[in-house]
Amino acid sequence: GIQVEQSPPDLILQEGANSTLRCNFSDSVNNLQWFHQNPWGQLINLFYIPSGTKQNGRLSATTVATERYSLLYISSSQTTDSGVYFCAVVTSGTYKYIFGTGTRLKVLA
């Protein structure tokens, strides 16, 4: 089955710093979402981005489907950005999400 790898696995930032999170997938996908799982466990939708580039405030994302990767950019990080970031993909012939390995982010005040 498809492999979805995220990097880095862990990241510690000082408040105000910028970061790039990466999601690599081993096969073609029909759908890709980025989620933030907050410390209370809630999965929050960040981007629905099977291809192209989107921006929402301090966050932006780019998916290059032909090269099988997606990037999530966080600018001017805040302590509330702490948590785990997951990418999740849907492959051809299925409807289920396959989640990546996650990036655990901690932003220090």
Partner 1 sequence: GAGVSQSPRYKVAKRGQDVALRCDPISGHVSLFWYQQALGQGPEFLTYFQNEAQLDKSGLPSDRFFAERPEGSVSTLKIQRTQQEDSAVYLCASSQGTSRYNEQFFGPGTRLTVL
Site for partner 1 in 62-91 (CB under 8 A): 86, 88, 90
* 102 lies in the site for partner 1, by CB under 8 A: yes
b vs e for 39-59, b when ≥16 Cβ sit within 10 Å of the residue's Cβ?
eeeeeeebbebeeeeeeeeeb
Strands 69-74 and 59-64, bridge-based pairing: antiparallel
Which of these segments, 13-21, 45-53, 65-73, 75-83, binds partner 1 (CB under 8 A)?
Answer: 45-53
* 103 lies in the site for partner 1, by CB under 8 A: no
Cβ at position 76, least distance to partner 1 in Å: 26
The C-alpha atoms of residue 74 and residue 90 are separated, in whole angstroms, by 24
The C-alpha atoms of residue 31 and residue 65 are separated, in whole angstroms, by 10
Which residues form the interface with partner 1 (CB under 8 A)?
30-31, 33, 35, 40-43, 45, 48, 50, 86, 88, 90, 94-102
